């Protein structure tokens, strides 16, 4: 009920009831349409829901056919470089246990018919069709998107009640999953002890939803939730990238340190005799503050952009990227393009860019920075493949940028087409 608002009135007059009404909270469940897969324009979603409250979108991806099946996922989990986990649930004891990959076939043969979940991260880096799911969140900056994690669960399987410290879109691919969430802003977030999983010690859900194939559940950071499979279930989780402030600070400090010459040192020409052995006194601390403070304040916008671009495209990289170590000649690049071989982005490389004077750009790829035409930067961020005859690849500035990207392995040439016999 709206609270009454006190008004100035004579002492003998009763308080007038308020005519103001508290704005109604936006609905927690909506239905998608063909033109609006979010059930609303992206601008409204960002204003009312993004990092504010959960949302269930019924039919957001109606008719979507998941590009991989449980066997595909199990095969990927057996790869040495895959990031995979199996979580087993003990219903009677309300406990969950974790087993990290990689696995072999015998691992899956020994599992029961219920109460376990296989989770594989970065599946979009391995499967281009899974990467197509990211089109659902193209209204967000691409550098904010982390990966698509895929989970297969048998009946009753789940990872237990927990919170994520980043935004996530949970897309139901196959079967059904029941989600319990808490929208209580004061919900306890203490963790259980004695487990490798970051599970909540207490969980009191305020809402429950059963998701069918094509439904999507959006969760802002720090919302307690728990998903349990109803029968066999596959969920595709689109996670966002949200560096911790401590990570930003550490990387930023390293960036600043790289700019300083060896001649810049801590100095204390005003030193006085020490009052006690080993004491770091207030004067010493003030000198340190003086050294660090002005450096951050004097940092130009362009330097900040260059640091952040490198950092955010390197952050949480699924696997290291390395080139051949040899920088190709421009003539070699022209000849290879002339043979019809397209340019491909490395699937594990993230790209971003900032404006750099007129039609130029500073392009960032997996922590590297190159200068190039703005049109090329936009294209490499938007498209995983540039055909060999693309006009963007014809000018010398673009070829020089490609030369640097090829050297570090962030882009590569497509395989030569097979000759017909």
Is the same domain home to 220 and 93?
yes
Which of 240, 272, 307 terminates a domain? The answer is 240
Q: Per the structure block, which two tokens stand in for 284? A: 């010493």
Does residue 10 sit within a domain? no
Is the same domain home to 213 and 75?
yes
pLDDT of residue 317: 79
The CATH number of the domain where 350 resides is what? 3.40.366.30
Which of 206, 240, 274 terminates a domain? The answer is 240
Q: Is the pLDDT score of 130 beyond 60?
A: yes
C-alpha dist (Å) from residue 97 to 116, 158, 374:
9, 11, 49
pLDDT of residue 109: 92
The CATH number of the domain where 144 resides is what? 2.60.120.650
23-66 pLDDT per residue, tens: 678 999 999 999 999 999 999 999 999 999 999 999 999 999 99
Domain count, the chain: 2
> Residue 188 — very low, low, confident or very high, per pLDDT cuts 50/70/90?
very high
Is the same domain home to 220 and 339?
no
Q: What is the span of the domain harbouring residue 335?
A: 243-258+299-421
Is the same domain home to 304 and 232?
no
Is the same domain home to 62 and 161?
yes
Q: Is the pLDDT score of 241 beyond 80?
A: yes
- What is the value of pTM for the model shown? 0.84
Is the same domain home to 73 and 208?
yes
Does residue 45 sit within a domain? yes
Is the same domain home to 226 and 356?
no
Does residue 336 sit within a domain? yes
Percentage, residues of the chain above pLDDT 90: 68
Which of 190, 207, 240 terminates a domain? The answer is 240
Torsion of CA 101, 105, 107, 112, to 10 degrees: 130
| String of DSSP letters for 355-404 | E-STTEEEEEETTEEEEEEHHHHHHHHH-SEE-TT-GGGSSHHHHHHHHH
341-358 pLDDT per residue, tens: 999 999 999 999 998 888
Closest alpha carbon to 346 in 399, 412, 290, 300: 412
Does residue 278 sit within a domain? no
Is the same domain home to 137 and 253?
no
Is the same domain home to 247 and 236?
no
Does residue 342 sit within a domain? yes
Does residue 378 sit within a domain? yes
CA distance 363 to 143: 12
Give the residue, 159 or 12, on which the prediction is more confident: 159
Is the same domain home to 87 and 108?
yes
Average pLDDT in the chain: 89
CA distance 336 to 339: 5
Strands 216-219 and 168-181, sheet pairing: antiparallel
| Contact present, 72 and 189 (Cβ < 8 Å) | no
Torsion of CA 201, 204, 209, 213, to 10 degrees: 0
Is the same domain home to 338 and 209?
no
Closest alpha carbon to 212 in 35, 63, 37, 28: 63
Q: Per the structure block, which two tokens stand in for 362? A: 């500073």
Does residue 385 sit within a domain? yes
CA distance 90 to 303: 52
Is the same domain home to 215 and 318?
no
- Find tokens 């703005």 and name the residue: 374
Does residue 210 sit within a domain? yes
Burial class (CB in 10 A: 0-12, 13-18, 19+), 207: middle
């Amino acid at each position: 009920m709206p609270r009454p608002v006190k008004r100035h009135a004579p002492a003998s007059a009763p308080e007038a009831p308020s005519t103001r009404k508290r704005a109604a909270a936006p609905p927690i469940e909506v239905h998608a349409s063909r033109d609006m897969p979010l059930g609303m324009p992206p601008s409204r979603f960002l204003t009312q829901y993004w990092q504010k409250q959960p949302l269930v979108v019924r039919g957001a991806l109606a008719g979507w056919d998941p590009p991989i099946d449980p066997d595909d996922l199990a095969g990927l989990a057996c790869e040495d470089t895959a990031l995979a986990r199996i979580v087993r649930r003990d219903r009677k004891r309300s406990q969950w246990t974790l087993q990290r990959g990689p696995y072999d076939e015998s691992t899956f043969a020994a599992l029961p018919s219920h109460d376990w979940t296989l989770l594989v991260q970065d599946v979009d880096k391995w499967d281009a069709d899974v990467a197509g799911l990211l089109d659902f969140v193209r209204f967000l900056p691409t550098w904010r998107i982390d990966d698509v994690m895929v989970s297969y669960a048998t009946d009753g399987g789940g990872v237990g009640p927990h919170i994520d410290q980043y935004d996530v879109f949970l897309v139901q691919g196959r079967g059904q999953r029941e989600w319990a969430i808490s929208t209580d802003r004061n919900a306890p977030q203490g963790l259980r002890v004695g487990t490798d999983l970051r599970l909540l010690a207490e969980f009191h859900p305020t809402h429950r939803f059963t998701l069918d194939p094509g439904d999507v559940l959006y969760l802002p950071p720090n919302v307690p939730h728990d998903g349990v499979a109803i029968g066999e279930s596959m969920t595709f989780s689109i996670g966002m990238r949200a560096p911790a402030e401590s990570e930003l600070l550490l990387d930023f400090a390293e960036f600043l340190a790289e700019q300083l010459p060896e001649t810049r040192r801590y100095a204390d020409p005003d030193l006085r005799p020490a009052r006690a052995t080993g004491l770091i006194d207030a004067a010493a601390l003030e000198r340190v503050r003086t050294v660090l403070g002005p450096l951050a304040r004097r940092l130009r916008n362009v330097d900040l952009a260059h640091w952040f671009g490198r950092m955010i495209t390197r952050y949480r990289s699924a696997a290291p990227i390395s080139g051949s170590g040899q920088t190709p000649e421009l003539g070699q690049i022209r000849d290879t393009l002339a043979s019809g071989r397209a340019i491909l982005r490395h699937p594990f490389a993230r790209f971003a860019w900032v404006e750099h004077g007129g039609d130029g750009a500073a392009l960032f790829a997996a922590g590297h920075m190159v200068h190039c035409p703005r049109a090329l930067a936009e294209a490499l961020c938007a498209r995983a493949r540039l055909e060999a005859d693309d006009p963007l690849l014809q000018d010398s500035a673009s070829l020089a940028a490609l030369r640097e990207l090829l050297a570090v392995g962030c882009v590569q040439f497509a395989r030569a087409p097979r000759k017909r016999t």
